[in-house]
Homo-oligomer: A and B are copies of this chain.
Amino acid sequence: VTAVAVIAGGVGAARFLAGLVEVVDPSGITAIVNVADDLELHGLSISPDLDTITYTLAGAIDPERGWGLAGETWAAMDELGSLGGPSWFSLGDRDLATHLYRTGRLRSGATLTEVTAELTAARSLRLTVLPATDDEWRTRVTVSTAAGEHSSDTTHQHTEEISFQEYFVGRRHAVPVRNVRFAGDPTPAPGVLEALEAAEVIVIAPSNPIVSIEPVLAIPGIREAVAARRDQVVAVSPIVAGAALKGPADRMLAELGHEPTVMGVARLYASFAATLVVDDADDALAPAVEALGVRCVVCPTVMHGPSEAATLARAVLEAAAVDPGRRR
């Protein structure tokens, strides 16, 4: 296999890609990355998923936090806090350089695709990292809030629509989600549809189906391009034994009416992915997944480190190559 496209969110996708570059020549890999949880803060353009992938593949990610740079310092944030500024979204001093670079280039007319290519080249990455779109495209989350202060009707359901990062970081994804939508009028970034057409294998990375994978697919043209290659599409379930390894994907699936298991993932992906890779822990659900018309491959999917990520990447590529009936 020499041409692989990976539809990617943040941490889970980054870890998978770190394994994939060990088993496929990176020059044949294109990561198509969610940008719907990007934000503008302090005037800076921040792209968390692009940065998590770039930092991880550069070996520069902080391994404890899973985001930001290792060995980071926090002088700017500390000072901003003492000035009374908003410090709910932590930006390390060296991480700030990425946002300063990106923002300056965008303001001078560069596209996010161009800036991302420059930032990945600066960190000597050999794979292609593409934002899914160069256009503004933002996840909006409707969450439940406490009953209004002035309302005596405490049974009345109050909701509020907030940005993804307000939900995810600001409220530590601890509030119930009632709805998710994406705001904007985007087109796929240059190279995205071409990479999906040229790929021998398209991987749906183990990322949140609702807020990482769906906002990529929801860009007009991308879901159709992926579905047109359904037989070559292998998804990796981000849900293991009914729980997300990281983040609120399990709770979010349930809150939005999906089964928070590999079955829920299989139903969401069945129309465009012929194969679903699930963890050994979900072996018993494989027949039910296959009953949906989705080939189910069972193998270890939890990536504690690069070698497990490489093993998973190898299994995913093999899954794409196997006969429809076969599974481990």
Contacts and interface: CB of A to CB of B under 8 A. Distances in A.
Contact of A84 (B76, B83, B118): B118
Contacts of A107: 40, 43
A273 B144 CA distance: 63
Contact of A42 (B75, B82, B100): B100
A41 B118 CA distance: 18
Category for how many chain A residues contact B: 20 to 34
A83 B104 contact: no
Given A40-B107, A44-B43, A101 B76 contact: no
A63 interface: no
Nearest to A85: B101
Nearest to A106: B43
Given A43-B45, A43-B107, A75-B73, A80 B100 contact: yes
B75 A93 contact: yes
A97 B118 contact: no
A78 B92 CA distance: 13
Contact of A94 (B44, B76, B84): B76
B96 A83 contact: no
7 closest residue pairs by CB, A with B: A43-B103, A79-B97, A75-B93, A42-B100, A80-B97, A85-B101, A79-B94
